[in-house]
Chain A
Amino acid sequence: MIGDRILGVVLLLLAVVYGWEAAMFPEPFGGSEAVGPETFPLILAVILGLSSIYLLVRPDEDEEWPHMKMLAELGFVLMVLAVFTLMLQPVGFIPATTLMVSVLCWRMGAKPLPSVFTGVGSAVVVYVLFNFLLELHLPAGLLKLSGG
């Protein structure tokens, strides 16, 4: 119930802001036409607005939401993916991937040693496959500097 209500409020806000912005679009060069850049967005804003009001009035039963601990866990996973992205170019594909895959395996319940093994293995295999077989160059990062 509460989930759909919150969703309804968020969507209603979105519809209003989205529609408001559409109405503020500058008139296109060469004068206005029957259908301008704002027409389609305005239709969408109205439909989304009406639907969100329906959700507010008649919300569905809630799905069970995870507890704080699990939410932190999921947040951690997203952070691991972001760190992977951050490391990818400066540090290189192999270290970044090893870290990401190992940590994800570990968080999904694998023991540390097999996790690291999967991480290193998948990093090297994907790197070799892409760089040499498929000729798509993944960032080498530090590996390139030390290897000359």
Chain B
Amino acid sequence: METLNFLLQGFAVALTPENLMFAAIGAILGTVIGALPGLGPANGVAILIPLAFSLGLPASSALILLTSVYAGAMYGGRISSILLNIPGDEPAMMTCLDGYPMALKGRAAEALAISAIASFIGSLLATIGLVILAPILAKFALRFGPAEYFALFTLAFATLGGITGKNQVKTVVAACLGLMIATVGVDITTGNQRYTYDILELYEGVDFIIAIVGLFAISELLFFIEMHAGEGFKKVSLNKLNLSMKDIIQVLPTSLRGSVLGFIAGVLPGAGASLGSFLSYTMEKKVVGKSGYFGEGDPRGVAAPEAGNNAAANGALVPMLTLGVPGSGTTAVLLAMLISLNIQPGPMLFTQNAELVWGVIAALFVGNLILLLLNIPMIGIFVKLLSIPPKYLMPVVTLVASVGIFAISNSPLDLYFMIGFGLLGYLLRKLHIPLVPVILGMLLGPEMEKSLRHALTISDGDWSILWSSGLSVGIWAVAITGLVLPYLIGPVLRRRMAAAQDKDHSIVD
């Protein structure tokens, strides 16, 4: 009952004309960002953060704008999967399997419409799940002391590589690099300078927004140039939409199953949207059995992964908002947004900033509806955008990113830092060092160190406090499992995902 009250208040925030406008702008921008190959959700949100920041938007409006971008990017990712057979972002990979064959059969418009409906259902159910689960988890998290938080931060890094992660040591290396960058600057507790080398600009530390934009956007530009991907890709043309009620009813149970599975995958650490869509697709194939024609353009093969990845994307907001521990790259970028607005996520968020957090949750409902309305009649416009060749698009995106960074403090030095991080991002990606743990390290570093200090001050220097409560032992156990498990079952899962892809290609060829 209390929750419902808060939610109503949230709608009062989200439904003001100004915030409705931001939700709509965010939804459109997000769909565009998701649709364009190579400009994934994390990248898109990262570029927009400095802009939202330097415009001086109120916290709730800025967050509504960016969460709508996030939701929109999840919708947009499917457009290039279906029309180009190239996923706009990683979670949209599974949508290629049946979406592209459907488009080849001249049913591209139906595939897009079905995926929009499935996305809507996935997001809607997962947002309801978020409303129910988040306050419970927040209440539970109030029992966490500094020792538990330290363990929880470790868990976030340990599971970030995901079950399908290839080389866990590289995730550890990436996390260390991020945490090390976070230690640069004046130490808050003692006032000691650390790694500043008497450079004034380093006293406040390295701004993580600059790092995020450099690592994602600039390194992406370098990759596009290296791959000679300036010309764009050949796409399947769009037919006239011919969708009956029967088609929609056929995919309803699929969407429901996919949503539940996706939501669970989103909430759990280390699973994320990619695994969510993969699980939904494989389960659907098993449930439907012989009567399905998966891989050859079965509409249910489009609905399942789309419901799954949208539900997972919203599910991932649960740990991010209640614990301050994001489970994916994009939620990490949203966390960066919160921290730069001076809002510390965690259990207290739901009591101290109730209006804000419920406003954002209400905005998820509103944004989702806007997205559905946008995506069915206006799909033609988004499809047209796919024909903009990257050779014109990427330079303009780079420009927007640079302007955003420059606008933060009108300092050219920030831009040099951005370029430097771009080079670093390129090198790390070439060496298969994941970028998300680097960013997460920069974001969580200060809090992680603070909880370590806090815990050891309480125990008067006794390190065993870190694993003295049942709760913290449990968290450590999950963290260690998360780090070791990929070695055991990762190869099997990866093989299966690759097999599913290969089968798809053999049909296309």
Contact = CB atoms under 8 A, between A and B. Distances in A.
Interface string A112-133: 0010001100110010001000
B394 A54 contact: no
A5 B456 CA distance: 37
Contact of A85 (B225, B407, B412, B456): B412
A29 B191 contact: yes
B391 interface: yes
Given A34-B457, A109-B230, A126-B400, A47 B176 contact: yes
Contacts, number: 163
Contacts of A16: none
Contacts of A109: 228, 230-231, 391
A82 interface: yes
A52 to B, nearest CB: 7
Contacts of B8: none
Given A3-B431, A35-B457, A136-B55, A40 B449 contact: yes
Contact residues of B: prevailing secondary structure? helix
A110 interface: yes
Nearest to A61: B432
A108 B317 CA distance: 37
B431 A110 contact: no
Given A44-B183, A60-B432, A78-B423, A108 B173 contact: no
Interface in B399-453: 399-400, 402-403, 406-407, 412, 415-416, 419, 422-423, 426, 430-433, 448-449, 452-453
A39 B461 CA distance: 12
Contact of B407 (A18, A51, A136): A136
Contacts of B169: 51, 54-55
Nearest to B176: A48
A34 B176 contact: no
Nearest to B430: A63
B228 A25 contact: no
A72 B398 CA distance: 20
Contacts of B183: 40-41, 44
A16 to B, nearest CB: 13
A35 B415 CA distance: 35
Nearest to B389: A110
Contacts of A47: 172, 176
B395 A104 contact: yes
A44 B392 CA distance: 42
Interface in A40-78: 40-41, 44, 47-48, 51-52, 54-55, 60, 63, 65-66, 70, 73-74, 77-78
A113 to B, nearest CB: 12
Which of A3, A47, A52, A105 has the most CB atoms of chain B within a 10 A radius of its CB? A105
A118 B392 CA distance: 7
A86 interface: yes
A89 B192 contact: no
Nearest to B463: A34
A74 B176 contact: no
A97 B400 CA distance: 10
A138 B403 contact: yes
A122 B416 CA distance: 22
Contacts of B224: 108
Given A34-B456, A34-B460, A81-B422, 6 more contacts: A4-B431, A35-B456, A37-B194, A85-B412, A85-B415, A85-B419
Interface of B: 54-55, 166-167, 169-170, 172-173, 176-177, 179-180, 183, 187, 189-192, 194-195, 218, 221-222, 224-226, 228, 230-231, 389-392, 394-396, 398-400, 402-403, 406-407, 412, 415-416, 419, 422-423, 426, 430-433, 448-449, 452-453, 456-457, 459-461
14 contacts: A3-B430, A35-B452, A35-B461, A40-B449, A60-B432, A63-B430, A73-B226, A74-B222, A84-B402, A85-B412, A123-B399, A126-B403, A134-B55, A138-B406
* Shortest Cβ-Cβ A-B pairs, 7 listed: A34-B461, A28-B190, A104-B395, A108-B230, A109-B230, A108-B391, A85-B415
